Amino acid sequence: MEVQKQSPKKVAFVSSYTPRKCGIATFTADLIANMGRIGGKAFKPVVIAMESQEKLDYDGLVGLTVRKDVAQDYSYAAGYIKHSDVEVVSIQHEFGLFGGKGGSHLSYLLKRLDKPAVTTLHTVLDEPSSDYYDSLIDICAASQKVVTMNKRGIKILHDIYGVPRNKIELIPHGIPNLPFGDSSYYKEKLGIGGRETILTFGLLSENKGIEVMLKALPRIVKSHPSILYIILGAIHPEVLRHEGNSYRWRLRKMVRDLQLEENVAFCNRFVEDEELFVFLGAADVYATPYLHKEQLTSGTLAFAMGAGKAIVSTPYRAAEELLAHGRGKLVGFDNSNDMASATLEILRDDESSLRMRMRAYQYSRKMTWPKVTEAYLKVFEEESVPTSMPSQPRPSFSHISILVDSLQPVSESA
């Protein structure tokens, strides 16, 4: 008798996880929350959380933690899943998240699984080093399905890594369903009423190109003296661990040297969604002046589109696709003059800016969390193994010593 397939209720998520301050952790928490809204109490997720240098207080969904550079922990995780009633495993993959050459330790887990794995690739490199290439080949081979968030990712996976097209699923980055509205209300909430605003948000590091936008700002200020550029986000934990606060001080020095103290505000903290939506709502222009083309996905860019913002960006892979057909303005890499020109065009032409915002907002409707969640559930349903066995108790791994260093995030606003 044929078994009737239905949405899996027991899903294991291998990922970083909140309260860890990183985009993958937030994405996983949002995906689980939205699956819970559809599945209700029958949905029973468990998280295998990748540890960081921070000491974190996880919620009850985390059943096991894995130390990034300890290969044996990945084998323990596979055993943990094997002796559970999990029906499908969701891997959230980013190269820096997993240990070994090019993140190859993840293969220790995948090759020992007896449950199907669906691996979401948050980065797909089209010019990989040999370590990254070999690692991703193994990960894709050991996964029943791989998910990319960008159409170009399908071509890269097929042409460069040899992944069969029928093994690749295209599911965009999820975003909240925000209203399309005017910025004035949100500016009043932030106490910046009457000022035109530019926003960049996300964990800060040198590849984000903040310096490019700062160099563009003096020209913008000449025409719009009250403009405010808000830089929202803490220094990336890995940058903070290796360099301390030196990058943030370099940015502050640049602001002083350019005499932009009245036009730049640093909000050096990792904000939760509710506060983020207020900052997004207050923005007249959203800027992503990234320095390198390789980034295939961007949750921050997707969020800005979902809030109906006018966007200026360099043409990294995610922006090329998301902002095509007049959904935003693309400028050259490391080109402050073009960044200034594009920003000024938006600020000067309200009618053109509104059309661009509407195109971006309408395009983003297919990226809202309900639609993204349904797409994941469909893939999980196709790949899951139905379980007729009664739920087994989760094995105890309390004997595994998880050692992490304490790292306190810096909190500052200006």
Residue 5 falls within a domain, yes or no?
no
- For 202-236, write each residue's pLDDT tens digit: 888 888 999 999 999 999 999 999 999 999 988 77
Helices 369-383 and 23-39: crossing angle, nearest 10°? 80
What integer pLDDT is reported at residue 342 of this predicted model? 98
Mean pLDDT of 238-246: 75
How much is the mean pLDDT over the chain? 89
pLDDT of residue 255: 97
Residue 21 domain-assigned (yes or no): yes
Is the same domain home to 360 and 382?
Answer: no
pLDDT at 386: 63
**Domain annotation covers residue 362:** yes
Number of other CB atoms surrounding residue 378 within 10 Å: 13
Q: What is the pLDDT of residues 336-381, one digit of tens each?
A: 999 999 999 999 999 999 999 999 999 999 999 999 999 999 999 9
Give pLDDT, residue 22: 86
Q: Which two tokens stand for residue 23?
A: 């985009």
Any domain includes 132: yes
- pLDDT at residue 29 above 60? yes
Q: Do 248 and 108 share a domain, yes or no? A: no
For residues 321 and 192, membership in a common domain is answered with yes
- Residue 260 forms part of a structural domain: yes
The CATH number given to whatever domain includes residue 246 is 3.40.50.2000
Centroid of chain to Cα 67: 21
Opening angle at CA 112, ends 405 and 34, nearest 5: 65
- In terms of residues, how long is the chain? 414
* Mean pLDDT across 28-53: 93
209/159 same-domain check: no
103 with 240, same domain: the answer is no
Domain of residue 262 covers: 184-366
Place of tokens 């890499």: 333
Residue 201 has pLDDT above 80, yes or no: yes
Whether residue 59 sits in one domain with residue 21: yes
My answer on whether 373 and 354 are in the same domain is: no
- The residue assigned the tokens 């599911």 is 171
Express each pLDDT in 64-114 by its tens digit. Answer: 999 999 999 999 999 999 999 999 999 999 988 999 999 999 999 999 999
- Domain annotation covers residue 275: yes
- 362 and 380 inside one domain: no
**Residue 2 covered by a domain:** no
What confidence score (pLDDT) does residue 101 get? 95
Query: How many distinct structural domains can be found in the chain?
Result: 2
Look up tokens 């998280």; give the residue: 47
Check residue 204 and give its pLDDT: 84
The answer on 94 and 130 residing in a single domain is yes
- pLDDT tens profile 157-177: 999 999 999 999 999 999 999
- Do 264 and 333 belong to one domain? yes
Distance CA 156, CA 28 (A): 24
Residues 295 and 308 in one domain: yes
90 bridge partner residues: 13, 118
Q: What is the pLDDT of residues 302-342, one digit of tens each?
A: 999 999 999 999 999 999 999 999 999 999 999 999 999 99
Question: Count of H helices and E strands in the chain?
Answer: 15, 14
Phi, psi for 184 (deg, rounded to 5):
-60, -45
Instruction: Give the pLDDT score at 5.
Output: 54
| Residue 243 sits in the same domain as residue 391 | no
CB 113 within 8 A of CB 78: yes
Q: Is residue 179 part of a domain?
A: no
Which of 372, 373, 376, 353 lies closest to 364, judged by CA?
372
